[in-house]
Structure 1
Amino acid sequence: MTIERIQDRSLVQKVLPFLVIFGALFLLIWPTVEGIVSRWFKFDESYSHGLLLLLVSAVLIVRTVKRDSPVPGFYPLWLLPFALALIAYGLGDVLRVQALQELTIVPLLLGTLAIFLGWQQVKAFIIPVGILFFTVPVWDYLSWTLQVITVEINRLLLGFFDIDFEVEGVFVYLIGVGAFEVAHGCSGLRYLLVGQALAALYGELNFRCLRSRIVFFLTAVGFALLANWIRVFVIIYMGYETNMESSLIRDHDNFGWWVFAGTLVPLFLIGRKLEMTNAEQAPRADRGLPATDKGGYRRLWSGVAATSALPVLLLALLPSSAGEIKPSPDSFDLGLNTERYGPLFGKRLSGWKPQVRNPDLVFVQTVFDRGAVTGESGPEQQLFVGVYSYEYQRHRAELVQYYNRIYDRDEWLPEKFFRVMSPSGVPLQGVTLRSLSSGKYVHLAYGYYVAGLWEIDQWRAKLAQVMGFFSPRTDASLIIFGTACEDCDGEAAVGELVSDVMPPIVNQVDQHFQK
């Protein structure tokens, strides 16, 4: 009984410093962790494996602790990289760059362990903890590159067949048959993340040599990409052969996972072959004596106090990222030329509207050009003007975020992209959308107006948010113009609307936020 109590007391003494420091750290990083975990519960996206990998990570950590029996101490040199990671996290919070905060989560966790275990002990935890990096949503930034690569590979494959096709951006047009968009979900990101996680896990369990782990990991990446290329090609080819009637076109997720599973067979055969190499079969080197307690009880808790103070101090210094989220946006006091434009009922354009989450101010009008109406048939052309503004950037209420999209991808398909030049020389992004249900077209021109700066690309708009932090203006707006008509030149129509309406609208926005 006494021996059991001594063992329990020893275990508590070893675990308690980590509980204290991780508690202090999570006070700081919890909003970011909560955001990451929320993505894990979106089971139709690329990060639905997050919960499973969290469990795997926990099992690997327990396995490593039982195998190596690490001894906690205090290694103050590791406070420097830990502090640098905290600074990077703080910059991400100040500048509202969520990706920077997400990138620092795993380094902060490993940095905490390094402070109390030192390099010789913490390196055994790199994979058990680092595997969580494959669950962090920053991988979304690879999506566009993967989409472009997938399109180019399929352009090459389709060239070997007698198929009349054209490629424009991420669209593959089968002449006389239909069009395919290699969208975000077709980038292969989900297969890449799962393949990388499996490779890291397999290497941790079966390999001892770094070279074997690297070779196996790179092979897994190649097979994961190959699985997606095959999947997309088969879908396009079946669409061509069946005149777009194949069930794969409507439901191809399961098919993709079957193809991915098929590539795991040669992958694990290669892994087995690597296990049989001379380097892997050599006698296992002695791990040496366990690390000793570096500095004793008092030194350890001095380190706990110093390390815990850093995230708590940063939390106290950071401006609050929270803010009041209005239950419904206020109406923007803007106006159009009523002599030329007459109002129409509704705030949609042929069923379309942008997806904008938690704006502070909104101005939306669907109108018609009075001068274009002839006879009693009513307006043949509908016009749309929308301004969605945030007074300042904060958590869940910022211009560039995951939930803000120009169109619902489940309802609309982009057919063509173009540029629209405003009277002031500011270019706007133009896009023609086709409704998947009605087949109707809408033509849009939009731009991001951030602290007085114009951008048409989301990444540049995000950077403008960073620059806006040093500007007296804190506002950010999505300004969008649209037209819907049966027999008209949509690009010319939306360009004419921009030329006439954009200057007074932007002037009114400036007057509002420069008060």
Structure 2
Amino acid sequence: MSDANVNYSPIRHSQSGVIALLLILVIWVLIFWQGLVTALDIWLISDTFNHCLFVLPASAYFIYQKREQLALSAIKPNYWVLILCIASSGLYAVGLSGGVQLFMHIATFTFLPFSVWFLLGNEQAKKILFPLFFILFCIPIGEELIPTLQEVTADLSVMMLQWVNVPIYRSGLYIEIPEGRFLVAEACSGISFFIASIVIGCLYAYMNMQSTVRRTAFVLISILFPIIANAIRVFGIILTGHLTNMEHAVGADHLIYGWVFFSFVIICLIALGELIREKSSELIPEASFSPVHVTSKSDYVKACGAITVLMIMVFGWYQVIQGQLSSGTSPHKLNKLLIPNSVVATNWQPEFVDYFDKKQTSFDYKAKQIDLYAVWYPKGHGELVSYANRMYLEDSWTLESSYSANSPDGETLEVSQIVNSRSVRLLGYWYMVDGKVSSNKNVAKLYEIYQIMLGQHTGSGLVMLSMESEYSTLEQDKRLFNEMLVEKFLLINQVFPD
């Protein structure tokens, strides 16, 4: 055998390739440190996202298993992917500006797979496509779906109860039967089941299936199956309460039933996977990748230099944003209300955190008590539009319907009709961001971010007005409430600092 034949295939993983990969990992940790820390806090605190702690180690393990299909000595950097890296960095800047942790987390856990793709090139990145994709499960996202899942669960469970002729009356998320009343609360949305099922479904499809069609079908099943299963669980709880005169399936019982049912759902999901997956005789072993060239050290330096320069520029941008958020004079508090008011006990109570100032009071309007609640978040003091802030406690109230009303300056104001077991309330609200009024929280948040990035943001506030009503006089009260909004709108807005 000649020397040429002996030296034909280069070594699989060169020292330069390993160093380049480690450099990208270190840069990622340093630049996106704030996104990593805030994500870790959520992983540790929320039971829904405890699984995220294992995602990065699992991805690293799957990539290690693919080491025979990779060659760090023969990378072909794809510089076009830097565009995606820049997009992730921009999204992180937006999240940093507006305090939107969701944007920060999406950017953090998309930048890492993009940067690995950039370094390895298309051919090798394709071989570890799932481990790179799996990193996205680090993003603590999904709780935004809770209201939708609550509605779907309530719809499906009511339909099932009607099938077995159980007398029911539904008001929003409350389901009432002759024996008692049930609330499809956040814990009943099945969000934990839903997210865990998708993660397990993706893992099972990757580890046990090769066909793209089979994998896609099983992932779709893992998305739909927990939604239907959770509706069956709620149906079973209500039916049990009906048949046992509320002796069972109430209190802690339904939580215990929930965990037992969840275990059963996962077993059924895996059993479906066993039916769908290929038989062992149908599996095709993966061929190892044989590198046919060696990447020069100058190519490694060029690739690492490009992403390092990009990250230095991004880091400087982030520092400017942080300076903009922390700079400024001492903020003003809310102004005194210019309408006669008094503090009166009310059964409606919003929940806001980290605000700089708030005013809570009541006033009379044509013999009706109007409850007012205003919060103020000046620049650098907390986050107004946040999932942690609630206009009403969802353990006490549920949204039944909503409609729009017009303000004197032509703005559309949102009015929600919320209910509980004892009463119904009208709740009107609007956001005030740097003098601009909006009743849409997403529009308000985007405008706030826009103002911050222009260096023109001063503060954001929210006004909520609520009035108790009864179904017998609801239409009349709606007209009165709309009239009050038009009459008091400009006067109430004077509570915000100039």
TM-score by length of 1: 0.79
1:122 aligns with 2:121: no
Deviations 1:391-435 (A, max 9, x none): 23x5x722211211112334x22374455746626434234454x
Deviations 1:31-66 (A, max 9, x none): 22222222112234x222211333333332333337
Residues 498 and 91 (structure 1), Cα distance of their counterparts in 2 relative to 1, 3 Å cut:
closer
Query: 1:24 touches 1:312 (CA, 8 Å); kept in 2?
Result: no
Match of 2:464 among 480, 483, 506: 480
Residues 217 and 125 (structure 1), Cα distance of their counterparts in 2 relative to 1, 3 Å cut:
same
Whole-angstrom distance in 1 between the partners of 2:162 and 2:188: 20
Deviations 1:450-477 (A, max 9, x none): 3344333433433443565569564321
1:450 aligns with 2:433: yes
| Amino acid across the alignment from 1:221 | I
Query: 1:429 touches 1:456 (CA, 8 Å); kept in 2?
Result: no
| Amino acid across the alignment from 1:458 | K
Whole-angstrom distance in 2 between the partners of 1:111 and 1:273: 35
1:32 aligns with 2:35: yes
Deviation at 1:242, TM superposition (A): 4.1
Query: 1:89 touches 1:104 (CA, 8 Å); kept in 2?
Result: yes
Whole-angstrom distance in 1 between the partners of 2:53 and 2:309: 30
Whole-angstrom distance in 1 between the partners of 2:216 and 2:365: 67
Q: Where in structure 2 are the equivalents of 1:104-183 lying within 5 Å? A: 104-169=107-172, 171-183=173-185
Deviation at 1:314, TM superposition (A): 1.4
- What's the counterpart of residue 354 of structure 1? 350
- What's the counterpart of residue 390 of structure 2? 405
- What's the counterpart of residue 344 of structure 1? 343
Whole-angstrom distance in 2 between the partners of 1:204 and 1:417: 42
- What's the counterpart of residue 226 of structure 1? 228
Q: Where in structure 2 are the equivalents of 1:3-14 lying within 5 Å? A: 13-14=16-17
Structure with larger RCO (C-alpha < 8 A, sep 6+): 2
Whole-angstrom distance in 2 between the partners of 1:420 and 1:68: 58
- What's the counterpart of residue 297 of structure 2? 297
Query: 1:390 touches 1:399 (CA, 8 Å); kept in 2?
Result: yes
Residue 494 of structure 2: SS of its match in structure 1? helix
| Amino acid across the alignment from 1:478 | L
Query: 1:416 touches 1:431 (CA, 8 Å); kept in 2?
Result: yes
Match of 1:212 among 206, 211, 214: 214
Residues 41 and 408 (structure 1), Cα distance of their counterparts in 2 relative to 1, 3 Å cut:
farther
Residues 460 and 225 (structure 1), Cα distance of their counterparts in 2 relative to 1, 3 Å cut:
same
- What's the counterpart of residue 3 of structure 2? none
| Amino acid across the alignment from 2:382 | A
Whole-angstrom distance in 2 between the partners of 1:209 and 1:224: 23
Residue 138 of structure 1: SS of its match in structure 2? coil
Query: 2:94 touches 2:449 (CA, 8 Å); kept in 1?
Result: no
Residue 265 of structure 1: SS of its match in structure 2? helix
Deviation at 1:158, TM superposition (A): 1.8
The root-mean-square deviation of aligned C-alpha atoms, in Å, is 3.7
Greater mean deviation of Cα atoms: 116-125 or 399-408? 116-125
Whole-angstrom distance in 1 between the partners of 2:87 and 2:44: 31
Residues 175 and 259 (structure 1), Cα distance of their counterparts in 2 relative to 1, 3 Å cut:
closer
Match of 2:445 among 419, 439, 462: 462
Deviations 1:48-95 (A, max 9, x none): 221133333333233333774643635143333333433343344456
Whole-angstrom distance in 2 between the partners of 1:251 and 1:497: 46
Whole-angstrom distance in 1 between the partners of 2:404 and 2:252: 34
Query: 1:330 touches 1:360 (CA, 8 Å); kept in 2?
Result: no
Query: 2:179 touches 2:242 (CA, 8 Å); kept in 1?
Result: yes
- What's the counterpart of residue 374 of structure 2? 387
Match of 2:93 among 86, 90, 94: 90
Residues 42 and 242 (structure 1), Cα distance of their counterparts in 2 relative to 1, 3 Å cut:
farther
| Amino acid across the alignment from 1:344 | V
Residues 237 and 97 (structure 1), Cα distance of their counterparts in 2 relative to 1, 3 Å cut:
same
Deviation at 1:360, TM superposition (A): 2.7
Deviation at 1:440, TM superposition (A): 7.6
Greater mean deviation of Cα atoms: 84-93 or 397-406? 84-93
Residue 45 of structure 2: SS of its match in structure 1? coil
TM-score by length of 2: 0.81
Greater mean deviation of Cα atoms: 300-309 or 30-39? 30-39
Deviation at 1:217, TM superposition (A): 1.6
Whole-angstrom distance in 2 between the partners of 1:487 and 1:227: 34
Query: 1:165 touches 1:172 (CA, 8 Å); kept in 2?
Result: no
Query: 1:444 touches 1:482 (CA, 8 Å); kept in 2?
Result: yes
Unaligned segments of structure 1, at least 5 residues? 1-9, 373-380
Query: 2:335 touches 2:494 (CA, 8 Å); kept in 1?
Result: no
- What's the counterpart of residue 315 of structure 2? 315
Percent identity of equivalent pairs:
22
Query: 2:24 touches 2:116 (CA, 8 Å); kept in 1?
Result: no
Deviations 1:237-296 (A, max 9, x none): 233334545344545344223223223334323333344448x624424234146432x1
- What's the counterpart of residue 22 of structure 1? 25
Residue 50 of structure 2: SS of its match in structure 1? coil
Residue 82 of structure 1: SS of its match in structure 2? helix
Residue 159 of structure 1: SS of its match in structure 2? helix
Whole-angstrom distance in 1 between the partners of 2:472 and 2:268: 55
Query: 1:121 touches 1:291 (CA, 8 Å); kept in 2?
Result: no
Whole-angstrom distance in 2 between the partners of 1:481 and 1:369: 12
| Amino acid across the alignment from 1:359 | Y
Deviation at 1:177, TM superposition (A): 4.3
- What's the counterpart of residue 429 of structure 1? 415
Deviation at 1:304, TM superposition (A): 0.7
Q: Where in structure 2 are the equivalents of 1:224-373 lying within 5 Å? A: 224-277=226-279, 281-290=282-291, 292-294=293-295, 296-318=296-318, 319-321=320-322, 323=325, 331-338=333-340, 341=341, 343-344=342-343, 349-350=345-346, 352-364=348-360, 366-367=361-362, 369=364
Whole-angstrom distance in 1 between the partners of 2:28 and 2:228: 40
Query: 1:167 touches 1:173 (CA, 8 Å); kept in 2?
Result: yes
| Amino acid across the alignment from 2:120 | L
- What's the counterpart of residue 4 of structure 1? none
Deviation at 1:156, TM superposition (A): 2.2
Greater mean deviation of Cα atoms: 299-308 or 484-493? 484-493
Residues 448 and 125 (structure 1), Cα distance of their counterparts in 2 relative to 1, 3 Å cut:
same
Whole-angstrom distance in 2 between the partners of 1:182 and 1:89: 35
Whole-angstrom distance in 2 between the partners of 1:178 and 1:458: 35
| Amino acid across the alignment from 2:445 | K
Aligned residues: 476
